Chains A and B, each alone.
Chain A
Amino acid sequence: AQSVTQPDIHITVSEGASLELRCNYSYGATPYLFWYVQSPGQGLQLLLKYFSGDTLVQGIKGFEAEFKRSQSSFNLRKPSVHWSDAAEYFCAVGRSSASKIIFGSGTRLSIRP
């Protein structure tokens, strides 16, 4: 069965430090992969997505993610975090002719001043 795992429930990083959020997926074919961000009290916003081609994808707000097929991973990175990046981040995988999607359980990011 398809699944998405975000092993880190909560991460705290200092403002200006680099960030990496982990995501592992289980899927039988080439997946559609996404990262969404949810700010407190808000809906979700798409940060970036991967379907094919270059395995390093750039997104909004200075985020990037790298698809590694051999590790079934799609980790999210940012070289220098800002206090406004504090939010919950969800990795997701798309399946079944692009009509269904599975989300991970989320990683909450806190920023230390």
Chain B
Amino acid sequence: EAQVTQNPRYLITVTGKKLTVTCSQNMNHEYMSWYRQDPGLGLRQIYYSMNVEVTDKGDVPEGYKVSRKEKRNFPLILESPSPNQTSLYFCASSYSGVADTQYFGPGTRLTVL
């Protein structure tokens, strides 16, 4: 089944404790992206990747890191999480960019205490 998977689905952590949210797709997509969803703000793009080893900032990259060492994986790293990073995070992928249909993962709900 074609899908985007994220792990974990739920995470409660404390300020400053490094964490990684994994994202994997099995559709051989070149484009992958991370978003955060906050009430009243919709989705905001954090980082995106056009291909392996090619990443760039979205609109809200502060406090986040990403890497794209393999085509299928695009982990989101929070090296020192803060409470303002409490949010619902989505990973998405598409063949070559936002012009193609993006397929979204199920989301990761992160709470930073």
Show the binding face of B for A, using Cβ within 8 Å: 4, 31, 33, 35, 40-45, 48, 50, 56, 58-59, 90, 92, 96-99, 101-102, 104-107
Contacts and interface: CB of A to CB of B under 8 A. Distances in A.
A32 interface: yes
Given A42-B106, A43-B107, A44-B90, A99 B42 contact: no
Interface string A7-44: 00100000000000000000000001010000000111
B99 A98 contact: yes
- In this complex, the interface size class of chain A, counting residues with CB under 8 Å from chain B, is 20 to 34
Contacts of A49: 99, 101
Contacts of B40: 9, 105
A51 B98 CA distance: 11
A8 B92 CA distance: 26
Given A43-B106, A94-B97, 9 more contacts: A43-B104, A46-B102, A49-B99, A90-B42, A98-B97, A99-B56, A101-B98, A103-B44, A105-B41
Contact of A97 (B43, B45, B97): B97
B92 to A, nearest CB: 8
Interface string A77-90: 00000000000001
A34 B104 CA distance: 14
